[in-house]
Structure 1
Amino acid sequence: MKRVVVTGIGMINALGLDKESSFKAICDGVSGVGKITLFDTSDFSVQIAAEVKNFDPLSVLSVKEVKKTDRFIQLGLAAAKEAINDAKFNELTEEEKENFGIVSAAGIGGLPNIEKNSNVCLQKGASKISPFFIPSALVNMLGGFTSIEYGLKGPNLSCVTACAAGTHALGEAYKTIVCEQANRMLVIGAESAICPVGIGGFAAMKALSTKNDNPELASSPFDASRDGFVMGEGAAALVLEDYESAKQRNATIYAELIGFGESADAHHITSPSLDGPLRAMKKALDMAKKTNPDIKIDYINAHGTSTPANDKNETAAVKELFKDNIPLMSSTKGQIGHCLGAAGAIEAVISIMAMRDGIIPPTINLRNQDADCDLDYVANSARKQEINTVMSNSFGFGGTNGSVIFKRI
């Protein structure tokens, strides 16, 4: 079976416009959460989020194209540009383009444009809807714009599986390469849903933290005082490639993707079960063991949303799977918020960089650990440690779960 490796990465989030600056801030325990500036929150119960700051869409698109794209596409293109450059794929032959595909991922897609054009339709009539509305809002248009930008003519796929979308996209890319439908795949997860209907909708579910007076402390995974997640926005991209192809061109190989698992809770539309996440992690681990029988997971980047239900449930699932050999685990959502469908891709990049640098990012704001969350979550300060294998978890509404495992080469 073909081996699949990562040869390029890119990332943009509330703490930086590139992978290196944002990863450093994450490891330094900096919080990117603050008061929402993208719209007026005066009448909202939730007024905080982890916004991407100082982003200029003209860095990736022309003025004309900016008008045709939602913010999630713009952020995704920025991450894709960094990953493509990192993998040194700036110039491709026609044959290479035909064997280079894309899997894009988002949980919601162009929600701000859906909201905007819905209001236009109701207030001014259907004739005033923008002709660019539909193309700007579709999740797969992230892959569409990116494929046009780089001339990538391989499979153009999308995952829209709530907060597990980015992780599922990695699995889809792996399968595409192993099934020889392409020898290179670009995975892009992007999300930007910080708009009135996005914040209002999640607030109506009581899913978001209401700690408006202390934004930087609001996202507190595994802490007894956690009261909901903080919405983030951002994007990440990873170039996946057949190992032999990567070796042949002397590419920098960050990691090998050796396992992934997917499952459904079949339990509840928003409340998690222990069984679903457990089976996803077990499937990923069982797959990894087929080629690495003595594998030992050194670090888990947890889904760790800072919601009462998820953190307790994920902890119990990890304990059930690993028994007496539980890896160190942390959640980076305290720093960058929960980026919904982009979270899996962003956290995969964070996990790979943690392995590269031998440092485990901290779980910040963990001051009073919940009695039901009784593991070592690398509280508040990063920890230097050699990391040879990492697991990254993502669980989404609808009871959809994903887990991936990377190893150092």
Structure 2
Amino acid sequence: MSRKVVITGIGATTPIGSDAASTWQAALAGTSGIHALDNDWGEKYSLPVTIAGKVPAGTVEEKLTRVEAKRLDPSSQFALISAREAWADAGTPDVDPDRLAVSWASGIGGVWTLLDAWDTLRERGPRRVMPLTVPMLMPNGPAAAVGMELKARASVQTMVSACASSTESLGHALDILRSGRADVVVAGGSEAAIHPLPLAAFASMQALSKRNDDPEHASRPYDVDRDGFVMAEGAGALVLEFEDHAKARGATIYAELAGSGVSNDSYHITAGDPDGTGAARALRLALDDADASPADVRHINAHATSTPVGDIPESVALNKILGAAIDDAAVSATKSMTGHLLGGAGAVEAILTVLALKERMAPPTINTQNVDPAVNLDVVLNDPRKLPDGDLLAVSTSFGFGGHNAVVVARSV
């Protein structure tokens, strides 16, 4: 029998909470983290979108020193904050650095650093560009920050697969442990791309909600009136290790990370396959990896971005694989509260999935008033829902530009 991989630590900083506990409580309460941006970007750049989900004010100042913050892009700041929390939550494992790995993700990386440096170069010349600009802007910057913080030497790697990135990082962590290359892996993802350029670019492709006058209700997955996703920032981190290793050191176990699956649509650079073929294949692979059947699934934390073309293919894929069992799976679309953290979304949603199993409570999907008739899912609307007793299986799904599909499966313990 293969050794079980379990989750022993979690950490997060999101638009609805500065840590994992506050994020979870806000999710259960149906709290929106989407607000109007407190700046002049709309007027200065004629941006059509002026809402987003930002981490709570003061989070970085409270949790990082000024020197640490200055040397890190915001995407790395959030990564370090969440990883420190997860590591402490796991009991600060005493592990040989050569047996400790990091599997991190970012969809975009240090975009703030890159664009600020460009402004500096144009306005003040090359001598004023910070020497740390390249280490701060590179997509593996967050992984490197976490790896150096924890002294991880087995491997420190970065998944970059758009919005599927941090779900892929969890699957990669599972592979690292099963291969025997490490005893403990810190996995997760972070993003900090709320900047005028990404906002303008996403808005140009008609991907963002333009409900500037009603930000808290802008993200409405599956609703017939959905008009796009809402940009958000933050990070999520999870500590993974084998069950026997965790028990030997007396660690608290949240859930088992039982399986993962990845695939690609090879259909369109930004749109998912409307038939959901690739997404369905990733789900099937994840269930097979977990040695689970469709009838075992009782909860789904769906990718559900609130885009007109994105939500339906996911419903199609879930129905393809789960069949009649889809009626017994409570579906939560938590981006309705957090917004879309891009490369950090999967990690945060995996944490919410794990806590749903532990607390046996599915978070609500807020703002959705009229579910699109093309969506055949049991969406948990408005209020959290109690999950059944006994063994529970849950899945978390992520899909990204480039046709990337990633799914992880968690099992209650």
TM-score by length of 1: 0.96
| Alignment check: 8 A CA contact 1:261 1:284 kept | yes
Q: Deviation string for 1:241-283 (max 9, x for gaps)?
A: 0122112112111111111100000100001011111111111
Give SS of 1:54's match. Answer: coil
* Aligned position for 1:23: 24
* Aligned position for 1:61: 64
* Aligned position for 2:120: 120
Give SS of 1:304's match. Answer: coil
Give SS of 1:393's match. Answer: strand
Give SS of 2:324's match. Answer: coil
Aligned in 2, Cα 1:154/1:38: closer, same or farther, shift over 3 Å? farther
User: Aligned equivalents of 2:205 and 2:123: distance in 1?
Assistant: 27
Matches within 5 A, 1:260-275: 260-273=260-273, 274-275=276-277
Runs of 4+ with deviation above 4 angstroms: 292-295
Give SS of 2:164's match. Answer: helix
* Post-superposition offset of 1:123: 3.0
* Post-superposition offset of 1:293: 6.2
* Post-superposition offset of 1:124: 3.0
* Post-superposition offset of 1:401: 0.6
User: Aligned equivalents of 2:125 and 2:162: distance in 1?
Assistant: 31
| Alignment check: 8 A CA contact 2:103 2:185 kept | yes
Is the aligned partner of 1:343 residue 2:345? yes
* Post-superposition offset of 1:38: 5.9
User: Aligned equivalents of 1:239 and 1:37: distance in 2?
Assistant: 35
* Aligned position for 1:218: 218
User: Aligned equivalents of 1:55 and 1:74: distance in 2?
Assistant: 12
Deviating more after overlay: 81-90 vs 271-280: 81-90
> Aligned pair count?
404
| Alignment check: 8 A CA contact 1:328 1:377 kept | yes
* Post-superposition offset of 1:150: 2.2
Q: Work out which of the residue numbers 384, 387, 409 in structure 2 matches 1:405.
A: 409
Is the aligned partner of 1:205 residue 2:205? yes
Q: Deviation string for 1:283-325 (max 9, x for gaps)?
A: 1011112xx5696011010000000111111011111111111
* Aligned position for 1:35: 36
Q: Deviation string for 1:136-157 (max 9, x for gaps)?
A: 1122221222222222222111
Is the aligned partner of 1:72 residue 2:80? no
User: Aligned equivalents of 1:71 and 1:12: distance in 2?
Assistant: 12
* Aligned position for 1:393: 397
Give SS of 2:309's match. Answer: helix
Is the aligned partner of 1:45 residue 2:51? no
Aligned in 2, Cα 1:68/1:294: closer, same or farther, shift over 3 Å? closer
* Post-superposition offset of 1:83: 0.5
Give SS of 1:116's match. Answer: helix
Aligned in 2, Cα 1:50/1:280: closer, same or farther, shift over 3 Å? same
- Unmatched segments (≥5 aa) in structure 2: none
Q: Deviation string for 1:30-49 (max 9, x for gaps)?
A: 11100013663222100000
Deviating more after overlay: 379-388 vs 317-326: 379-388
Give SS of 2:270's match. Answer: coil
Aligned in 2, Cα 1:14/1:39: closer, same or farther, shift over 3 Å? farther
* Aligned position for 2:333: 331
Q: Deviation string for 1:69-114 (max 9, x for gaps)?
A: 1111111111111100110016x36xx2221110111100111111
Matches within 5 A, 1:247-396: 247-273=247-273, 274-289=276-291, 292=292, 296-326=296-326, 327-386=329-388, 388-396=392-400
Give SS of 1:309's match. Answer: coil
* Post-superposition offset of 1:374: 3.0
| Alignment check: 8 A CA contact 1:263 1:401 kept | yes
Is the aligned partner of 1:6 residue 2:7? yes
% identical aligned pairs: 37
Is the aligned partner of 1:195 residue 2:195? yes
* Post-superposition offset of 1:57: 2.4
- Unmatched segments (≥5 aa) in structure 1: none
User: Aligned equivalents of 1:53 and 1:198: distance in 2?
Assistant: 21
* Post-superposition offset of 1:215: 0.3
User: Aligned equivalents of 2:352 and 2:221: distance in 1?
Assistant: 17
Return the letter of the residue paired with 2:269: I
User: Aligned equivalents of 1:293 and 1:223: distance in 2?
Assistant: 29
* Post-superposition offset of 1:122: 2.7
| Alignment check: 8 A CA contact 2:304 2:311 kept | yes
